[in-house]
Amino acid sequence: MSFAGISTAQMAVHGDAGNSVSRKTDLDIPSVRHILSDLSEVVSSLPPRTQTIDSEEQQEMLHELREIIEKAQVADEDRNSFNLDELHASLEEADASEKRGRRDAETLQSVRATLQKLWACNSEYLVQAAEIIADGSRDPSWRAPFGQSGVLNFFLDVVSLKSEVDTSLLLHSLRVIGNSCADTDENREIVVKGNYTLAIIRYFLDPDLIFVAIPVIYNICMDYKPAHAQMAANRAAYILLKLIKDGEIENNEALLHFSYDLIELASEQAEGIENSPDGTILLLMELAVDETLDFAHFSSLVTSLAAYLEKEKFQNICVSNGMVEGVLDVLCHSFSIAIDPPLSEDVKALAQLRLKINQALAEVSASPFFAEYYPLDSPLSQTLKSWVVAAEDQLQICACVMLGNLARSDEVCQVMVRVLKIHEELISVLKGDARGAVLHSSLGFLKNLAIAGDNRAILGEAGIIPAISRLWAYESVPQVQFSAASIARQVIISSMDNISRLLAPLSHDLDSPAHQRTYLSLLLSLFEKTDSTPIKTEIGRTVASICRTVSPKARSGDEEATSLLDRLYILHEGVSLPIGAMITQTQWPVVRSEGWFALALMATNKLGCAAVVDCLHKTEVIELLKTTLGNATHNQDNAEEVDKSQETKDRDNAFVLVQGLLTNESGALPVGYRDMLEDLVKVNASQLKAVTYA
């Protein structure tokens, strides 16, 4: 931007008398003067003003300076009007014209010398000289020469002086600096190298100069990252926030625009954030909920707040000072921000801002101090509970994530389920028409609640399995499918009741085809359709969990367990294939071992043995079985990059699997398989021990 003849209209004098403390917290909010007093001074190299120069000589110097600056513009106009006849003008005249109109560092050397002389004699004409140069600096062609000749440095030294300087001189000096730095990185480098941004920022406190000082910093910073960093390190963000909060620039829309942009730029700099006063986030919150705020300014504040809350320092400040409610207020306020409906980009941008706020709240609630300052009986937790079934998606997501982060112990999870009955509201969300993001967050919360042992039974009684079963077909959001499958595994762990619910018929009508299908059937259908290894593996682990819980009880004569095993194998063709996927996947060795154990359990049952044979026939498990048992003949001194105990466990379970097949297969094995399995048993019998079932 270019600084023209800027009005010197007065602004209200700052009421920046001292530090203040927020009414909401005991957090200290330092004054701007206090902040500036902590920063190092910028030293000016201008000499003392002790020389004496005749007034006429001063006038002549001013005239020469004016000639150089203003004649350049005249020369431009003359050159633009040249015709063929004028090209025959004398060489001497053309040369003189060129010298008068030249814009280069050499020409400006005399200008810099004139400025220094006028300064040294404390000339009354210095302000006029500064104004002439400031007006000329609006022409982009002057920018580089001003920097190269030292003219820019002269005015930087003027604004860096601690002693009192005429306000008009400061005004025009700032204009020269601002215009010279517009889109000119070489001049910006000069400013940054001397840390002159700090000198300029100090004029934010001057009611006569703030209206030009802020745009000057804006010009220096635009698209020039070194200036961003320095401006942020000099705490410009906090200073601007405090001035806006105190009402010092509220009536100037242009200054507000520049200020909010600078605040957002500063928030992108890690050093600036780390050095910001603790109260910065409080100012951001309080300004963000201002009813008069427009969308652009709200966007800058929210983006900045989210950046601050990415840092552990400010997360802890936010929690320990009771400011999490303030962030919730910002999220709520986002739903009342007015945007122009036709501007679809603004609609998308607002949605992104809400995501940023929610991400910040997720980080804050993940703090180890969160539960200490915001227990379950706190007003904030009550607010979040009410948001679980709110009309706005982002409020629901916020509630699920934050309460889910609070659910980190069995005790808290049990209170949430037994006393607060949050699970009922979450299950109602799963049954409704919520969008994928809400479903995903609700499922994540439920999974946390299901970890506490006693909660699994309560979740089962509340209908968790029918509720999640419809989401196994939610193809538009694979994360929802995975979470829904994961909860199925979680709730059946060591729970005969929930296993029974998973194996229950989809219809109680004996004549309906759905009577022969179960909820597990739906899960197995997902296994057949999905290409996701994590989903396939999670379904396999669910089947493995059923076997782990039910098989030992069935072997001991438990009638219910025996009935459930029969349903497992009779009603679910391909039930062993997810176990095969656990074994053939290569990402998680522990899961592979879990798969071998589950197949071994299946093989101890005659119906289960048929399922295992089906798995061997349809997957690559048979080859892995030979490889796994073949490892027993390897030289044990051979150093291999594997977990030996894991390898041994896999061989043990594979050996039990083969023994079970040979005992219970009843002719189901394809031709040649039995001989191969018997050979494996002979080779390994002397080296392997049978697994002991818990």
Q: Where are the domains of the chain?
A: 284-364, 462-693
User: Which amino acid, one-letter code, is at 594?
Assistant: E
Residue 40's Cβ-count burial label (10 Å; 0-12, 13-18, 19+) is exposed
Question: What are the residues whose beta carbons fall under 8 Å from the beta carbon of 3, sequence distance 6 or more?
Answer: 134, 137, 138, 174, 175, 178, 179, 212, 215, 216
Contact criterion met (CB below 8 Å) for 155 and 173: yes
Helix (H) or strand (E) holding 21: strand 20-21
DSSP 416: I
Residue 275, Cβ neighbours under 10 Å: how many? 17
Distance CA 583, CA 589 (A): 9
Structure token pair of residue 99: 């010298």
Which of these, 47, 61, 53, lies nearest to 114 by C-alpha position?
Answer: 61
Structure token pair of residue 157: 């030294």
Structure token pair of residue 602: 């299946």
Question: What are the residues whose beta carbons fall under 8 Å from the beta carbon of 625, sequence distance 6 or more?
Answer: 616, 654, 657, 658, 680
Torsion of CA 50, 146, 239, 265, to 10 degrees: -160
User: Which amino acid, one-letter code, is at 358?
Assistant: N
Distance CA 50, CA 105 (A): 28
Residue 515 C-alpha from the chain's centroid: 48
The per-residue b/e assignment along 463-481, b for 16 or more CB within 10 angstroms, e otherwise, is bbbebbbebbebeeeebbb
At the topology level, CATH places domain 462-693 in Leucine-rich Repeat Variant (1.25.10)
Three-state SS for 505?
strand
Residue 10, Cβ neighbours under 10 Å: how many? 9
Contact criterion met (CB below 8 Å) for 402 and 365: yes
pLDDT means over runs of 10, the chain (694 residues): 46 37 62 88 79 84 86 48 32 35 69 90 91 90 91 95 88 95 94 95 94 95 93 95 90 90 94 90 96 93 97 95 96 90 83 96 94 93 95 96 93 95 96 94 95 92 97 92 96 96 90 87 96 95 96 94 96 95 92 94 91 89 87 48 74 89 80 81 62 40
Structure token pair of residue 681: 């048993």
The half-sphere exposure of 154 on its side-chain side, counting CA atoms within 13 A, is 26
Which of these, 64, 130, 150, 129, lies nearest to 99 by C-alpha position?
Answer: 64
Residue 509's Cβ-count burial label (10 Å; 0-12, 13-18, 19+) is exposed
Distance CA 420, CA 378 (A): 13
Phi and psi dihedrals of 685, rounded to 5?
Answer: -55, -40
pLDDT at residue 103 in the model:
61
Distance from the first to the final alpha carbon of the chain: 77
Distance CA 74, CA 71 (A): 5
User: Which amino acid, one-letter code, is at 152?
Assistant: L
Distance CA 48, CA 329 (A): 55
What's the helix, strand, coil split of the chain in %, to 5?
A: 70, 0, 30
Contact criterion met (CB below 8 Å) for 242 and 31: yes
Three-state SS for 598?
helix
The per-residue b/e assignment along 420-436, b for 16 or more CB within 10 angstroms, e otherwise, is bebbebbbbbbeeebee
User: Which amino acid, one-letter code, is at 478?
Assistant: P
The per-residue b/e assignment along 555-593, b for 16 or more CB within 10 angstroms, e otherwise, is eeeeeebbebbebbbebbeebbbbbbbbbbbeeeeebbb
Distance CA 221, CA 668 (A): 77
What region, left, alpha or beta, does residue 30 occupy, with left being phi > 0 and alpha being psi -120 to 50 degrees? beta
Three-state SS for 20?
strand
Structure token pair of residue 20: 């203040």
pLDDT at residue 572 in the model:
95
pLDDT at residue 452 in the model:
86
Distance CA 414, CA 410 (A): 6
Distance CA 426, CA 462 (A): 11
